[in-house]
Structure 1
Amino acid sequence: MSARDMIHAIPHLRGRVRAGVPLAPLTWFRVGGPAEWLVRPADAEDLVALLAGLAPGMPLTVLGAASNLIIRDGGLPGVALRLGGPFAEVVVEADGIVAGAAALDMTVAEHAAAAGLAGLEFLSGIPGSIGGAVAMNAGAYGAEVKDALDWAELATPAGLVRLTAAELDLSYRHAALPPGGVVTRARFHAWPGDPAPRMAEIRAAREAAQPVRARTGGSTFKNPPGHKAWALIDAAGCRGLTRGGAQVSEKHCNFLLNTGTATAAELEALGEEVRARVLDLSGISLEWEIKRLGVPA
């Protein structure tokens, strides 16, 4: 599809539509090529217009906070969707929080704490945004989104829909989103309490065990049933393993690091080497938790 055809394949929006935007600065790994088109809708109605008006076959990738994402060096074809400020509102209610999809998980936990609401402390240990947390039923430190979610609002080509946690059929790192659905906001229930001590525990645990200040993407692989991914990786001798500028963290070996010069190809290849070593030693095939999207250089 030519550039002229591409721009006509995207409906007219009130938000921003830009071509050839570098995506590496938007990702936590700081790697990857450009977006063919980067779209930032003005609001939920604008997002519905985008989903309804995209030409058939036009690729669409929802970036979120890009915290658990490797964008390949050749970039993303089609439309890369980035929800901005209008989707970042956080509203405190008497017994819960309504948060936009672009609001950071940590920000939502902090709003709840400031309002004296407990039950959302686990969000302070999840790197990323609410939209991504709902879409993958993110969890940490003994709780998951499914434990606190009342409902999620999603934009679809047919309009906005609201689904309960039960309707989303949340399970380990999975949510059954409707076809073409993009989370726009969500409500979490909470109760009166002082979450500060638990949040302090989570913060201390993260800083002690995880490379929180490195260029990383969070947990690389899902925990297989009955196992911890980091323990399998450690047993396979992968702690500190490198490939080019990519490294398996010595602090927590279920984290990959960009030490400063890594390419997306090096990070992905290192992850595949880890998977192969774990499979050879234990017979267990690790499943990627980090998404790898786009085309090679």
Structure 2
Amino acid sequence: MMAAERIQPTAGFEPGLIDRLPAVRGRLRANAPLKDVTWFRVGGPAEVLFRPADRDDLIAFLRNRPADVPVTVLGVASNLLVRDGGVPGVVIRLLRGFVEIQADGTDLLAGAGALDLNVAKTAQQAGIAGLEFLCGVPGTIGGALRMNAGAYGTEIKDVLVGAEAVHAGTGEVRTFGVGELGYSYRHASLPADWIFLSARLRGRDGDAPAIGARMAEIQGQRGDSQPIKTATGGSTFKNPQGHKAWQLIDRAGCRGLTLGGAQVSEQHTNFLINIGDATAADLEALGEEVRRRVFETSGVQLDWEIRRIGVAAGDAGAGGAA
């Protein structure tokens, strides 16, 4: 077991939670900053951050953790807004130990922490076609499984054979077929207390150079149309049925709209960006203002695609992750 790292409380969390947690082989850190790991570069700390050494370390932790301690799972926090008061309980970050990718015929076996881009690259190297879209999805396989991520006409459900997950409350491990996950547009019906561990994805035989060319095309289109070099959280709102969110936002006059340090991107209006000194509260409030204006002008209600977690500033001692 590695010794748990401790730092002084910084956001209103009472000390002591880390002392109630079971022994691990990975890393536990109290009041761990999350701001620098989120793509928005905003947000408060995790009351405790846990980086499991591997699958078995995570399963053992979940089986032995106190039942009253909430857990929240992060990947690379690309489509996530952490509120300024931080995240109570234990934040589990799946990094090393969950990033392996292996080709098996026209299948790929990928850990939940594997970057979508790296999965696409591995498929290309193995001559597996059909997974090119993943190079245009910022995030990890675990996040893609949780939200049925997609891009350029393909969603994860279209290439998924099955996924292994562990129950956060009991430590039970199960493999789910794609039909058991209840996928729809940017949604999976599997309860949130199941944590994805890995996935089997299925492509088809392809030509590596042609696959690489398609990936380059996707990445070029993404760079031309999206503010990928700024502090952003990806697509902010889901596309309502029969509409494109960015068009509704543009028609509502929100292009370039600013609140505090947050701005609606002028390049792509379905992206919020941190223009330098935004807080999570700025970004969330700007998103709500966009939703209000879109409803006022079109009668269409936008639903958040970005996942928002944690508590507002000053509420860190309230307990329970949102």
TM tier, smaller: over 0.9
State the Cα distance separating 1:175 from its structure 2 match. Answer: 1.5
The equivalent of 2:6 in structure 1 is none
State the Cα distance separating 1:87 from its structure 2 match. Answer: 0.3
Distance 1:146 1:172 in 2: 10
The equivalent of 1:64 in structure 2 is 75
The equivalent of 1:231 in structure 2 is 247
The equivalent of 1:280 in structure 2 is 296
Q: Secondary structure of 1:174's match?
A: coil
- Does structure 1 residue 189 correspond to structure 2 residue 202? yes
Distance 1:135 1:226 in 2: 24
Per the normalisation by structure 1, the TM-score is: 0.97
Q: Where does 1:138-287 land on structure 2 (aligned, <5 Å)?
A: 138-156=149-167, 157-178=170-191, 180-194=193-207, 195-287=211-303
State the Cα distance separating 1:217 from its structure 2 match. Answer: 0.6
> Which residue identity lines up with residue 248 of structure 2 in the other structure?
L
Distance 1:289 1:63 in 2: 16
Distance 1:17 1:64 in 2: 16
User: Which consecutive residues of structure 2, in runs of 5 or more, have no partner in the other structure?
Assistant: 1-12, 314-322
Q: Residue 51 of structure 1 contacts residue 180 of structure 1 at CA under 8 Å; is this kept in 2?
A: no
Greater Cα shift, 287-296 or 152-161: 152-161
Percent identical residues: 57
Deviations 1:60-94 (A, max 9, x none): 11111100111011111110110111100011111
Q: Secondary structure of 2:284's match?
A: helix
Q: Secondary structure of 1:268's match?
A: helix
- Does structure 1 residue 10 correspond to structure 2 residue 10? no
Q: Secondary structure of 1:67's match?
A: coil
Deviations 1:100-144 (A, max 9, x none): 111100010011011111000110110000000001110110000
State the Cα distance separating 1:177 from its structure 2 match. Answer: 2.5
- Does structure 1 residue 97 correspond to structure 2 residue 79? no
Q: Secondary structure of 1:226's match?
A: coil
Q: Residue 18 of structure 2 contacts residue 30 of structure 2 at CA under 8 Å; is this kept in 1?
A: no
User: Which consecutive residues of structure 1, in runs of 5 or more, have no partner in the other structure?
Assistant: none
Distance 1:9 1:161 in 2: 27
State the Cα distance separating 1:42 from its structure 2 match. Answer: 1.4
Per the normalisation by structure 2, the TM-score is: 0.89
Deviations 1:130-159 (A, max 9, x none): 000001110110000000001101122243
